[in-house]
Structure 1
Amino acid sequence: MSVRALSFGAMAEAYERFRPGYSAELFDKVTAYAGRPVRTALEIGAGTGKATRLFAGRGVSVTATEPDAAMLAELRKHVPERVRTVRAAFEDLRPGARYGLVYAAAALHWTNPEGRWPRVAALLEPGAVFASFGGPIQPADPAVEEAVRAARAPFLESDGVPSPDGTPAGHAMQWPGTELQRSDWFTDVRQTVIERRLTVSAADYVGHLSTVSAYLVLPATEQQQVFDRIMRVLPEAVEVDADITVHLARRRHEP
């Protein structure tokens, strides 16, 4: 697991405060794709439980896994008691129970690519569903986005997470759909986008950036400098694009 993947724990409370949650539309898309009631789910890299609440709140029996103790402690403050929590990285999970759904919310890119898909498949009932969803949060106004880019430039060329398999940003099918399409373990790969636009205060937008791994791995003095620079170029209210890209796939009955 990379340094960036392990950078979130110290910011668990900020992650909970500044990261947006997930809507009922996402749940509906996943269950419509499943084509049958989803009763059990395993969550990869649950963080503070933003997605856990969505699925558990609609009656799914969720096992939420998360390697970071601080994130898991924050999650336990906010999720129903019936949610089972496991402190473990995805790679450390041992085959055993199988689930009707395995999903990852803005966390799959932190998992080890070696054996990723056989490992996911081993956790799924035949014909059951894998879902991955997330997306960047960026200023909707191109002028504001450019001002933020210029402000962070002395410290960071980009604050995004590069595609794990090198898929270009403009490609019709994005990662992890690209890998799922190549995997013998999965079929019926679909990609859909839930459009979402939010308005946040300048302080809350910078608060969100404080939970982004590219900033978290900077030295503390540089973090403060870059956040101060960005704060100075933001309008009082920041309209942001926060679209959620959803990838869905079905475990084959036989690989």
Structure 2
Amino acid sequence: MGRQGRDSRPAVEDLEGGEDLLAWCVAAKKRTTRWRSSSPPVAFPSPAAPFRRIPAAPQRGVAVTATDPDGAMLTELRKHVPSHVRTVQAAFEDLRPSKRYGLVYAAAALHWTNPEDRWSRMASLVEPGGVFASFGGPIELADPAVAQTVRAARSPFLARDDVPSPDGTPSEAEMQWPGTELQRSEWFTEVQQTMIERRFTLTADDYIGHLSAVSAYLVLPDAEREQVFSQIMRVLPETVEINADITVHLARRHREP
């Protein structure tokens, strides 16, 4: 886990097309430290849509706790995971853990959290020597012409729909957020950044479904959100090619003396 930089490649080979990120993260941690037991606990604090990633975890003998402030999200999650996956309805800032976890995983959710005491709160969830993992990245239209048409369609409502770096890190910087904050944090070390390349095709309906979970659209009033989706839907072809590279950050919780 000592390598840093945007060109780092995954350190394990059991990542298949970026589809099992939890397995990748668990395997990375197993290669770099010993678990306290054969079934290390994992926490998902306030995930944006983690249930696509969680099912593999219990099948690998990992005890999982998933949290979200939205009860409807947790209801949806329970449809996709075994009954023994523990769920907690709470915002990240309201979590009061009774134990620490070997691995804490956040899926495109950190920008929703309060930056004040973010990393001390995160450290309170991770056992000494444990790992924090963050996965995120934009889902972008690969065809520049289609992307320009969509930008024009949404422009009366949104000038941009991406999430700017919360700490102002420029896009050309070698280390991206939240790795930049992790490097400055007194709680974490061995910060590693890896890019996982993903390319796929979505139907127009599925692309709109993706946009419905994007922060910029979620904060719009309901009527405006429906309008912008209708405008975008009118200009989309039946299917769209997608660039969806994932930036992975891993960091080790400092061991306590």
Give the TM bin, normalised by the shorter chain. 0.7 to 0.9
Query: Contact 1:64–1:84 at 8 Å: present in 2 too?
Result: yes
Does 2:100 correspond to 1:88? no
* Pairwise CA distance, 1:30: 4.5
In structure 1, which of residues 116, 119, 122 is the aligned counterpart of residue 121 of structure 2? 119
* Pairwise CA distance, 1:23: 1.6
The one-letter code matched in structure 1 to 2:24 is D
1:162 maps to 164
- SS class of match (1:101): strand
2:45 maps to 44
Provide the alpha-carbon RMSD of the alignment: 2.0
Equivalents in 1 of 2:114, 2:56: separation in Å?
26
Q: In the TM superposition, what whole-angstrom CA distance separates every residue of 1:185-238 from its partner, at most 9, and x where no partner exists?
A: 111101101111110111211222122221222233322322222122222210
2:23 maps to 27
* Pairwise CA distance, 1:131: 0.2
* Pairwise CA distance, 1:94: 1.8
Query: Contact 1:47–1:75 at 8 Å: present in 2 too?
Result: no
Q: In the TM superposition, what whole-angstrom CA distance separates every residue of 1:116-146 from its partner, at most 9, and x where no partner exists?
A: 1111112212111000002111101111111
Equivalents in 1 of 2:21, 2:73: separation in Å?
25
Equivalents in 2 of 1:70, 1:151: separation in Å?
30
- SS class of match (1:144): helix
Equivalents in 2 of 1:243, 1:113: separation in Å?
25
In structure 2, which of residues 125, 129, 151 is the aligned counterpart of residue 149 of structure 1? 151
Q: In the TM superposition, what whole-angstrom CA distance separates every residue of 1:75-109 from its partner, at most 9, and x where no partner exists?
A: 11111111111111111112430111011111111
Equivalents in 2 of 1:34, 1:114: separation in Å?
31
* Pairwise CA distance, 1:59: 2.1
More deviation, 131-140/219-228:
219-228
2:211 maps to 209
Query: Contact 1:192–1:245 at 8 Å: present in 2 too?
Result: yes
Equivalents in 2 of 1:25, 1:102: separation in Å?
13
2:256 maps to 254
Equivalents in 1 of 2:186, 2:27: separation in Å?
23
The one-letter code matched in structure 2 to 1:65 is T
Q: In the TM superposition, what whole-angstrom CA distance separates every residue of 1:164-187 from its partner, at most 9, and x where no partner exists?
A: 111112211111000000001111
2:191 maps to 189
Tell me the number of residue pairs that the alignment of Structure 1 and Structure 2 aligns. Answer: 235
The one-letter code matched in structure 2 to 1:217 is V
The one-letter code matched in structure 2 to 1:46 is P
In structure 1, which of residues 105, 108, 118 is the aligned counterpart of residue 110 of structure 2? 108
1:199-238 matches, within 5 Å, as: 199-238=201-240
Distance 1:45 1:57, change over 3 A: farther
- SS class of match (1:113): coil
Equivalents in 2 of 1:214, 1:28: separation in Å?
29
- SS class of match (1:179): helix
1:79 maps to 81
- SS class of match (1:78): coil
When normalised by structure 2's length, the TM-score is: 0.85
* Pairwise CA distance, 1:27: 2.0
- SS class of match (1:205): helix
Query: Contact 1:181–1:189 at 8 Å: present in 2 too?
Result: yes
Distance 1:118 1:66, change over 3 A: same
Query: Contact 1:22–1:50 at 8 Å: present in 2 too?
Result: no
Distance 1:90 1:226, change over 3 A: same
Query: Contact 1:180–1:249 at 8 Å: present in 2 too?
Result: yes
Structure 1 gaps, min length 5? 1-20
